Amino acid sequence: MDVTSGGESSVWISSFSVYTVTTILVTLVVLAVVKRYNFMQRCNKVLGSPTEIPLFGGGSMIFVPPEEIMNLLLLLHVVFGRLSPSGIIRAWIGPLPMFFATTAEAVEAVLSSNKIITKSREYDFLHPWLNTGLLTSTGSKWQTRRKLLTPAFHFKILEDFVHVFNEQSLILVNKLNQAVAKDKDLNIFPFVTLCTLDIICETAMGRNVEAQSKTDSAYVQAVYNMSQLIQHRQVRFYLWLDWMFKLSSHWPEQRKTLGILHGFTNKVIQERKAEHQQRSSDIAEPSKDVTEDAVFSKRRLAFLDLLIEVSQGGTVLSDSDIREEVDTFMFEGHDTTSAAITWSIFLIGSHPEVQEMVNEELDRVFGDSDRPATMADLSELKYLECCVKEALRLYPSVPIISRTCVEDTVIGGDEIPAGTSVSICSYYLHRDPKYFPDPELYQPKRFLAEHAERRHPYSYVPFSAGPRNCIGQRFALMEEKAVLSAILRNFHVQSLDKREEIILLAELILRPRDGIRVRLEPKKKQ
């Protein structure tokens, strides 16, 4: 018997196994490399910045500081935007391709599509706070929620919020008077931000957190902290991966902050539900068919009231569903409006002739009265609305809108591969001289009806457009006019900063890095 034959057989089998495994691994690597190469070749067919690192993408945009993002995007749009016949250009952010729609025609192809409605990966960082509410959901869930929530923003519902705008604007004016008594020069941004936070808390949840009076509120601080955490992660490529983020010091801070945010919202939901049950205890069970008439049958004290009403005891919306929509409204309706109001103050305060026309309109509507604004008054402030819209043209609250293509998509002859994102940088779209001559000039008259109706409908998209346009844009414009009219009825504003000196941060919203300095001169009451 040959005792060595078994050993030789084992060695042979072992060698064969190693060879097989190695061959499989090498084949998989080669296939992965070929797949990656082919993917990059497809992406690079679209005009854009060159690939800096073979099979990886680009390294220069990974660690761009927040204050340089707008300059980099400007360079991208200037160099390639005018050369692209399709209106689509491309850049590499590390290994990820990013496509931009740069013309109104290309933007229309993206935003008007019923297929390109899924938000891009950048919105995933909002999920821990907002889960998949109206802003971040997609598909049938988004369509159902959109239909369900649309009545909440009807004219008759919004009219009930005017008293909140007035009350909080009065507090803001008093706070500004106190500050001006010490120093007429101040940074207006934090004052406006606290005011809009008070407004959104009361209109969304029916709770006054007194942000303007109690700046040490745990909830108020949590809103700020969560926004900063999201912004911090958004601009740092190495924190995009969940496991990397969870290894960072920001992870325990986020968990603590979410505990405060969700705990507060959950508590308010339970309190409001108890109040509803108490009020309806002696009333017959409402119809399960929710109509606009049913919505208007009782005055809605807050956005939360509508959600509780349509939840039908949890059969349509659970408590967690209600919370994600309330949290979404809190997020969307806070920083965006504070930015729009602040930029409007800055631009009006930089143009005395515009401020004079605003004052003439305010005098025409309010006279010398100190009475609060009504819905009819706000509707009469046509020129002030033009001022806000022109401010949103130059400084859109949300400077970049992004969508994910769930399937291969052709726009203007250029193919965008499935799984990649296409973005609209409204900051540059709004500066297209084809639709806005002398685009850097602040000219509110651009938005008088006779001028606006002649422009391409997708050349101006501060509230997005198409099926996923902002559901709360009418609410936002009402709030912005109410707060601005209160400030300008009480103060003459002089902006102390020059536009070219302001450093922009393109984060969740477009904000001035160092705030906005203004000089406020109280108006003498006759």
Q: For the segment 19-59, what is each residue's pLDDT rounded down to a tens digit?
A: 788 888 888 888 988 998 899 899 999 998 887 677 776 76
Q: What is the DSSP letter of 523?
A: P
**Any domain includes 24:** no
Indicate whether 291 belongs to any domain: yes
pLDDT of residue 267: 92
- For residues 456-472, b (16+ Cβ closer than 10 Å) or e, as one string? eebbbbbbbbbebebbb
Cα of first residue to Cα of last residue in the chain, in angstroms, is 121
Let me know if residue 92 belongs to a domain: no
**The pLDDT value given to residue 295:** 42
- Check residue 487 and give its pLDDT: 98
Q: What gap in Å lies between CA 364 and CA 396, rounded to an integer? A: 29
On whether residue 90 sits in a domain, the answer given is no
Give the closest residue to 103 by CA, choosing from 393, 411, 334, 354: 411
Closest Cα to residue 343, out of 523, 497, 227? 497
The pLDDT of residue 526: 53
pLDDT at 128: 93
Q: Is residue 509 one of the residues assigned to a domain?
A: yes
> Is residue 204 a part of any domain in this protein?
yes
Secondary structure class of 460 (helix, strand, coil): coil
Cα distances (angstroms) measured from residue 491 to each of 166, 173, 414, 494? 16, 9, 52, 10
Contact assessment for residue 172 and residue 191, using Cβ atoms and an 8 Å cutoff:
yes
Taking residue 341's Cβ as centre, other Cβ atoms within 10 Å add up to: 29
Contact yes or no for 47/85 (Cβ under 8 A): no
470 belongs to an annotated ligand binding site? yes
What pLDDT is stored for residue 94 in this prediction? 79
Q: Is the residue at 215 inside a domain? A: yes
Say which DSSP state 222 is in: H
Residues of the chain with pLDDT under 70: 1-16, 52, 57, 59-63, 280-301, 525-526
Q: For residue 476, what are the domain limits?
A: 151-396+469-522
CATH number for the domain that contains residue 341: 1.10.630.10
The pLDDT value given to residue 265: 92
Number of folded domains that form the chain: 1
Output the six-digit token pair for 212: 């303007």
316 lies in some domain: yes
Tokens matching residue 187: 């940074």
- Decide: 408 and 415 in contact? Cβ < 8 Å: yes
Integer-rounded Cα Rg, in Å, for the chain is 27
Residue 66, pLDDT score: 73
pLDDT for 300 equals: 46
Q: Are 512 and 363 in contact (CB under 8 A)?
A: no
- What are the two backbone dihedrals, phi and then psi, of residue 519, each rounded to the nearest 5 degrees? -110, 120
Phi/psi zone of residue 464: left (φ > 0), alpha (ψ -120 to 50 degrees), beta? left
Q: Which of these, 390, 347, 370, 373, lies nearest to 499 by C-alpha position? A: 347
